Each structure stands twice: as structure tokens, then as C-alpha cells.
Structure 1
Amino acid sequence: MRNIRRTATVAVALLATLFLIPAAAQAKPKQIEQYVALGDSYSSGAGAGAYSDAVCQRSNNAYPELLADELGAELSFVACGGAVTDDVLAGQVDALSEETDLVTIGIGGNDIGWTEAIAACITPFHDCTPEIEEAERKATEELPAKLDAVYAEIAERSPKAEVYVLGYPRLFAARNTCDALGSINIAEQERMNQGADLLSDVIEEATGGHSFTYVDVRDGFEGHAICDTAPWLHGFTVIDVPYHPNVLGQRDGYYAEMSEIL
């Protein structure tokens, strides 16, 4: 009987060696060595200071820099303030290759004229509803095809890469009128947030047509919008880039979200 038990114990150990150990080995995360960061000002770190490139407003505090440091990856940081989808296709995608392991991209806001809509809303005594509605029209009618072209090019150039598409946060707390001397009232803030939600939804839907991962940062920024007690976004300012994530927004918003995923 003891021999039978000993034999059974050995058999169990052998099975563990054959099956459990390889399974654990297969679960080991993929080593990320080549990382390319594409996109516009929200990805370049405009508003976060410590710029390594003043023209594109690439910040050393931007989430791609923080993420590359954590991963120990070589970073090709080509995101640029003011970029639209055509800029990504015309130049930024040249940083991609078959050796690229990781790609992050945030793009689309400039394509729909979101900056112009914000500017209209901070203009005193001006109803910015037409500008918001035009931005929403572009988001639904024009942006999906532009995003699809960008995503297809990424997939073609870097077929083995893990690709993460990052969305945009809502800008306003929509509880008071602290920003721009109170020129953006609560109703306008709520309307801007609705537009931001539509933009995020369009980007998420376009991402679904590819084998990419959409990263929704809206919940992460909840409680840290403009006019909140601890904002992660600049409001109206002449010192830095207005209506963009500050250092905390890049670190505790975008970077924290990506770090948790990876």
C-alpha cells in the first residue's frame, strides 16, 4: 500500500512538472523593447512642462516617457502638439517598424476642431453651441474614416506590436464657473463634456475595427477636472498650455492607466 501511495505521489509530481511549470512560463509577460508613441498634444505632454522639444511640446513628464522608463524600453517619441491624423500618416508612422513591440496613440481632437470649440466657449457673451455642434458633426461624419486609415497603417508597419489607443478626458467639473473669469457657465461646461464623450465614443468604436486596445481615461480623471479641488487639467492660463493635462494628469491619469494595463 505504501508503494502505491509513493507511486501516486511521484506521478502527481511528474504531472506538475510536465503541465504546471510550462503553463506558468507561458503566462510570463512579453518583454517590451521598442516603444513608439504617436499622437497629438495630449500624448506629447503639452501642459506638463520640462519640454525636450519646444516645437512639438514633448515633455519629459509625459506618459510615454514615464512608461518607457518603467518598461526599460527604447522610446521613439514622435507625438506632437497640434497634430491631426494626416500628420501621423505623413511623418509619425515612419518611426514604426516590424520590430516595434508597443505603440500608444491619442489622436482625433484636432481633426474635429475641438480647440476652436473651446476657444468659442471661453469667449465672453458668445454662445458656443454652433462650434460644439460642428465639432460633433466632424467627429461622427469625418473622423471614423481618418482614424481607420491611421490604425490600418500602424497595423501594416508594426504587425507584431501591442497597440493602445488612448481617449480624452472630460474637461470640466460642471459644478461652478471658476474658469476664465466665469465666462464658461455650467450649461456650457456640461455641453463641452457631452462633446468630449461623443469624441471618446467615436474613437473607441473605430478602435474596435482593429485588434487594438482602447484606453478610456474618463473615469481616471473623474474628480480632477477643471474647477475641481485637485485638477489634473489646466484651465484658462497664459503661463502654460490651457485645457491640457498638467503634470498630475500625465502621471496619475494617463501613465497610471497604462501602467495598470501593462
Structure 2
Amino acid sequence: MIPARLAAAALAAAALAVLPAAAARAEVEVDPTRYAALGDSYSSGTGTGDYFDETCLRSNRAYPQLLANGLGAELAFAACSGATTSDLLSKQLGSLDAETDLVTVTIGGNDIGWAEAVTACITPLTDCMDEIEASETLVEEHLPGLLDGAYGAITNRAPNAAVYVLGYPRLFNGERTCGALKQPNVAEQVRMNQAADRLAEVLQGKAEEHGFTYVDVRDAFAGHAICDDVAYLNGLTYPPAESYHPNEMGHLNGYYPALSRAIA
């Protein structure tokens, strides 16, 4: 579903293209698109720097701000680093109402113990396969119900909005190690990417069940994973909260174009 104000803006532009020059100079007033960005650190922009909110690590370099600038939209930026589906329900839905035209969301990664799995995989002399399998179990058995609750609440609060659920990229190239710790090893990278693919399948399935558009960003990040020559993702870095998150290029060249194509 195309947001009402986006459709109005497109129609206005088309009308100006065919009107005589004098008429084209007449100002066409269209209310700005009302856009709400929900979710976790992958939407808040953690990893990009330039934070205007140090608590939630919200950044002007994050894809929601890039999209709002491109659309000339009014942005309600509610996404917050560390957010779970429970946090979305309790703290972020206030940014939505019946006048909301557009919603984007990344959510679920913090509900499946993914940070714990990553931590185990980057710890030298340990094996992280058990942690990865534990995350996959949560993806299969726990996450679908949580997504139903979150997505249903978004629909109830913003019944007229077009909703875009964005997925998560694969973190690793699965070919070589890098960094001082040389962790995780290649086998662990491959296994983590497999788990990321299963997460994507669940996110897409639930998004489509709720009539939302799923935006798969894995292709946008292909060739730009951690250890690639031009990485769109941070490896282990300082401050630690920015580790294993999209960097500025990840939002500018990864998330933003993928989302823009989906909206177009």
C-alpha cells in the first residue's frame, strides 16, 4: 500500500509535468509524509557515529534520517539501541497514529540471544556452536509469536500506514578471518550466516502474513561484510556498542538504497 501523502506528492508532480508553464509555477501544497522509524540498533544507527541521542544511539547518519531527508518527511525517530519486541510495544508505539503514512522497523535480533552468540564466537579458545543453535531455537519457537504481537500492534496504532520490515545482513564473508583476534573462525562465520538466513526467513514470513513489505538487505551487503575490503559493517571496535553493526556506508549504501527501491 502506498502512503496517502506519498501518492498525493507523486500525483502533484505528474500534474505539474503536463500543465502549461504559467500554471506549473502555481504552488501545489501537499502535506508532508508522516514517517515513524521503529526498532532496534540497526534502525537507530548504532555504529555510524554522529549521535544526537546518546541513550538510544540514534544517528543522523542512520537510514531513517536519510529516507526522511529524501522524502521531505516528518520523522518520528523512535528506534533505540538494544530494543526488543517488548520495548517496541511499551516505548515506541506512541510515535504512531491513524495519520502515520509510513513505518519502518527492524526488530527481533535482541529477542533471540544473538548478541550472546556473537560474543561467544569472538572469544578466543571457545566454541560458539551451542550459542548459535540456541539462537536458532529461539528464532523457530519464540520469535514468531513475538513478531505477531509487535506487528499486530503496529497495524492497530497506524492502520493507514505502509509498513516496511527491514531484515539484517549477514555479518561475515565466511571466507577468512581478520582483526587482532582472528575470531570467529571460518566455520563459525558460515554457521552464523546460516542462522542469519533462517532469521530472515522468519521475519519475511511474518511480515507478509501481516500485509507488510519485507526488505531483504542481504544482497545489498554482499561483498561488504566484516573482513571484506570495503566493509559496510563494523568488526570488533570501540566503543564496544558499535561492534557488529552497520557503519555509515552500511546505512548510506546498504539499508537506504534497499529501502528506497522497495518504496519506489
Bucket of the pairwise TM-score, normalised by the shorter protein: 0.7 to 0.9
In 2, the alpha carbon distance for the partners of 1:199 and 1:183 equals 22
Which position in structure 1 is the counterpart of 2:247?
246
**RMSD value, Cα:** 1.7
Deviation digits for residues 38-68 of structure 1 (CA, Å, limit 9, x no counterpart): 0000000000000010010001100000000
Describe the shift of the 1:26–1:53 C-alpha distance in structure 2 as closer, same or farther (beyond 3 A). Answer: closer
In 1, the alpha carbon distance for the partners of 2:94 and 2:31 equals 23
In 2, the alpha carbon distance for the partners of 1:57 and 1:242 equals 13
Q: Rg: which structure is higher? A: 1
Describe the shift of the 1:228–1:153 C-alpha distance in structure 2 as closer, same or farther (beyond 3 A). Answer: same
Deviation digits for residues 208-256 of structure 1 (CA, Å, limit 9, x no counterpart): 2111000000001000000001000000112461000000001110011
Deviation digits for residues 86-137 of structure 1 (CA, Å, limit 9, x no counterpart): 0000010111000000000000000001010000000111110110000000
Which position in structure 2 is the counterpart of 1:162?
162
AA of the residue aligned to 1:237? T
4+ residue runs of structure 1 moved beyond 6 angstroms?
none
Instruction: Tell me how far 1:258 sits from its aligned partner.
Output: 1.2
Which position in structure 1 is the counterpart of 2:132?
132
Instruction: Tell me how far 1:142 sits from its aligned partner.
Output: 0.3
AA of the residue aligned to 2:257? A
Describe the shift of the 1:226–1:73 C-alpha distance in structure 2 as closer, same or farther (beyond 3 A). Answer: same
8 A contact 1:39–1:78 mirrored in 2? yes
In 2, the alpha carbon distance for the partners of 1:25 and 1:233 equals 38
Residue correspondence of structure 1 range 1-262 to structure 2 within 5 A: 33-239=33-239, 241-262=242-263
In 1, the alpha carbon distance for the partners of 2:197 and 2:31 equals 34
In 2, the alpha carbon distance for the partners of 1:31 and 1:185 equals 52
Instruction: Tell me how far 1:26 sits from its aligned partner.
Output: 10
In 2, the alpha carbon distance for the partners of 1:25 and 1:169 equals 35
Percent identical pairs in the alignment equals: 55
In 2, the alpha carbon distance for the partners of 1:126 and 1:31 equals 56
In 1, the alpha carbon distance for the partners of 2:258 and 2:243 equals 22
Number of residue pairs matched?
Answer: 238
Unaligned runs of 5+ in 2: 1-9, 15-29
SS of 2:168's equivalent in the other structure is coil
Describe the shift of the 1:211–1:155 C-alpha distance in structure 2 as closer, same or farther (beyond 3 A). Answer: same
Instruction: Tell me how far 1:261 sits from its aligned partner.
Output: 2.2
SS of 1:136's equivalent in the other structure is helix
In 2, the alpha carbon distance for the partners of 1:25 and 1:246 equals 36
8 A contact 2:124–2:181 mirrored in 1? no
8 A contact 2:47–2:234 mirrored in 1? yes
Which position in structure 2 is the counterpart of 1:18?
none
Bigger mean CA offset, 202-211 vs 83-92: 202-211
8 A contact 2:45–2:57 mirrored in 1? yes
AA of the residue aligned to 1:256? P
8 A contact 2:122–2:181 mirrored in 1? no
Unaligned runs of 5+ in 1: 1-23
TM-score by length of 1: 0.87
